[in-house]
Structure 1
Amino acid sequence: MARSPTVERVLKGELCSGCGLCAGVSNGAIAMRSAEPGFARPQQTAPITEEAERVIADSCPGSRVAPWADGPNRNPYWGPARETLTGFAQDPAARHAGASGGALSVLAIHALESGVVTRVLHVEADPGEPTGNRMRWSRNRDEVLAGAGSRYAASSPLEFIDAALGEGERFAFIGKPCDVSALRQLARHDPRVDQLIPIKLSFYCGGLPSRAGAHRVIRAMGLEPDEVVAFRYRGNGWPGLTLAETRGGDMGEMRYADSWGAHLSKEVQFRCKICPDAVGAVADIACADAWYGEGGYPSFEEQDGRSLIQVRSEAGEALYRSAVAAGVLSAEPLGVDQIELMQPSQANRKRLVSSRTAACRVMFQPVPAMAGLDVGKAAKLAPMAMRLRNFLGTISRILKAKR
């Protein structure tokens, strides 16, 4: 097969999340490259096999999103959860370094130290491109913490997934919800996924901004992107300051509410705006910021970190309970009805997925298959005026893009 019709359709419809799955299963025929305004996108340079195309069509989160598991605690916004809690890492360094309470970091560290896995695959800042990311393997606490903190930039953690599985070591995976969705679907074609990746961790994702978003932040600090040698989006506190340093020693900083609210959120790719599972509902455990409320809306004032923790699978429950028993994670139950107070934008986005995808269909734009994700149930909870406004707004956006 000369070209992948799935990849071409996903790219044409702006449905690519940049996960790298297509590259990872293409035996070198597809590679991930940076595309303007700073997203990771596949580039096919050789023919792919029909089998590879079948796997891509069935696993790519721009083509199909993994359905949620059935369960008595399934919520149309937040997915299935065996347990919903708030908590934090007992290790002060992990709590401080993490984006919220350090729960994801300490769960990964505990998986290593308890022998569940021998290494962790996760993202860290790219030394050669400080606003960008690269993947790394970590085998101990210090290495995990070196990559802690949110990274609002493109990453392709599945670009070399076949090679990683071929090494035969058991590892934990930390990635975006769409990355874990791709892994879950790949597991139907490759049994090594569940054999060698017993722990799949994710987080609530606000959407992936382009590199241009980070450059907007840097310029708003009064610095030039080309001069920056270190850049931290968040962490080292909760939510943590956005920090930049130039080779000349100049420093810039910005509050999270400004860096995300005024700059990064404006540069989020289209696929994220129609995401039916931005809460990691097919991960073993998903974590998020357990924001405290202020006047009915989350407060982003600096304070001790607190994580929202949703335990979603049997494997996740075993890891969570082991971490609590070992004294490395502190947690207490949270009513599911309280999540929207902490994460109102996530609930709002899920309510509007149906309206936005309906607009795409009217304009003959492709959308991913979304069966089993409660998109219709969530839509019924949105006011009709809001649904109509988003339907028309998405049509307007598509028309502008075609000009």
Structure 2
Amino acid sequence: MKLPSSPTIDRVLAAELCSGCGMCAGIATDSIRMETVAPGYSRPNVFAALDSSAENRIAAACPGAVVAPWPDAPERDSYWGPSIRILAGHATDPHVRFAGSSGGALSALLIHALATGLVDRVLHVAPDPEYPTRSRLQVSKTAEEVIANAGSRYSASSPLQDIDRVLAEDMRTAFVGKPCDVSALRQLATADPRVAQRIPITLSFFCGGLPSHAGADRIVRQMGLDPARLARFRYRGNGWPGQARAETVDGQVREMSYAESWGNHLSKEVQFRCKICPDAVGGVADIACADAWHGDADGYPSFEEQDGRSLIVTRTAPGDALFASAAVAGVLEASPIPVRDIDLMQPAQARRKRLIVARVASCRLAGHAVPKMDGLDVKKAARKANLREQSRNFLGMLRRIIFKRK
């Protein structure tokens, strides 16, 4: 008996290109559900046949098949994408600033969008009460809910797995997700007019890649605790960059620095799709935020605890209007910065972008599928890479693919 399948999903899964966004499950709710697979990624399971309409929508929107091109804007940078304004700043409410992973800009913008009636609710992710290192879908309608669920979530998440239900409800929704999530939503909008009607604003962030659940479990074990006995877990926040903090059901508490939790554990568990991501900076979101790191004496970001500071990039007219309204209302304090300042704040993002062409070329040579990535300036960024780093990344990716197959 032939099992139900989707040509698009089959191809994406076979090439490890799934980002786990959940768009396919949100489109084909009667045929696909998201499940957790080892070592802890969210992946679609096709359990019933899809009709041709659902297959076509998935093929057009899946970020493992196609990445949305950047929109037109007054300024455009091959690393940092389109922009209307580039600023560094923070939420003026000290509680919001402290609770956020950087300067609380995303949280402040969401709270302002709710307060002004721009949206009725926020669709984002939050800690799963049953598995605190994992994430679940969250709908927030108040400032208190937004703040309670602030902070980075370095774990598998599928914020689009209920997108058809969200679009069917007559409510204006702000969407917050990874760059690949927003890409999927932008692509879906080309076939589904409800996206523009129901979701007037999208926000994203600069993404370092999505780690598996195994990375978080390793952090907890390194702290000397049992992942199965967690009551609460925070990856970051409550300070900048904030400590990873684990609390068990019997009251034990441990913390770990961001430099150690990300650098020694989570970064080693990032899924393959993230290694060739051509838009990890939220280039198709209305607004993208990031850590506006201060460089140390050697020109590298310093992760010493200090008052949070957010990088804020407005990319579209709706995004710029939201920022301007928030600034006038006094909920954000921010000043313009030159685009080249971001090179010092986010050197890892710059490096990844200029090496996408080398990594993708290696994939193609090995017969490994890659997403369509037109309109994202990958070739322009590649011109900034020197021959040595291009060669190392080309060969490194080729070795990975060959040895993975063996």
Q: Which residue of 2 aligns with 1:44?
A: 46
SS class of match (1:397): helix
Which residue of the partner structure matches residue 365 of structure 2? 362
Distance across 1 between alignment mates of 2:42 and 2:5: 19
Once the two structures are superposed, residues 239-277 of structure 1 have per-residue CA deviations (whole angstroms, 9 ceiling, x without a partner) of 000000112211111000000001100000000000000
Q: Equivalences for 1:4-403 in 2 at 5 Å?
A: 4-295=6-297, 296-403=299-406
C-alpha distance in structure 1 between counterparts of 2:193 and 2:95, whole Å: 36
Q: Which amino acid aligns with 2:204?
A: S
CA–CA separation in structure 1 for the residues paired with 2:115 and 2:173? 12
Counterpart CA distance in 2 for 1:215 and 1:290 is 28
**8 Å contact kept, 2:69–2:376:** yes
Aligned length: 403
Using the alignment, how far apart are the partners of 1:238 and 1:28 within structure 2? 43
Q: CA deviation at 1:16?
A: 0.3
TM-superposed deviation, 1:2: 4.3
Identity %: 60
Distance 2:227 2:338 in 1: 43
Aligned-pair CA distance for 1:27: 3.2
3-state DSSP of counterpart to 1:74: strand
Letter in 1 for 2:81: G
Conservation of the 8 A alpha-carbon contact between 2:73 and 2:316: no
Q: Quick check: 2:232–2:248 contact (8 Å CA) kept in 1?
A: yes
Distance in 2 (alpha carbons) for counterparts of 1:278 and 1:67: 12
**Contact between 2:326 and 2:332, CA under 8 Å: does it hold in 1?**
yes
Aligned residue for 1:87, secondary structure, equals: strand
Q: CA deviation at 1:219?
A: 1.2
State the superposition RMSD in angstroms.
0.9
The whole-number CA distance in structure 2 between the counterparts of 1:202 and 1:107 is: 12
Q: 1:71 Cα deviation (Å)?
A: 3.2
Q: Where does structure 1 lack aligned partners over 5 or more consecutive residues?
A: none
Instruction: Measure the CA separation in 2 of the matches of 1:309 and 1:105.
Output: 12
Q: Secondary structure at the match of 1:323?
A: helix
AA of the residue aligned to 1:21: M
Flag structure 2 segments of 5+ consecutive residues without an equivalent: none
Measure, in 2, the Cα distance between the counterparts of 1:163 and 1:321: 31
Amino acid at match of 2:133: T
Mapped to 2, the partners of 1:31 and 1:241 lie a distance apart of: 34
User: Could you list the per-position Cα deviations for residues 301-352 of structure 1 after superposition, in whole angstroms to 9, with x for gaps in the alignment?
Assistant: 0010000000000000110000001010111001000001000000000011
Distance in 2 (alpha carbons) for counterparts of 1:89 and 1:374: 32
Deviation at 1:168?
1.4
Partner AA of 2:339 in structure 1: V
SS at match of 1:37: coil
The letter for the 2-side match of 1:47 is A
Contact 2:229 2:248 in 1 (8 A): yes
Distance 1:230 1:317 in 2: 36
Q: State the one-letter code of the partner of 1:220.
A: Q
Contact 2:4/2:47, CA 8 A, preserved across alignment: no
Q: Distance in 2 between matches of 1:358 and 1:4?
A: 26
Letter in 2 for 1:265: S
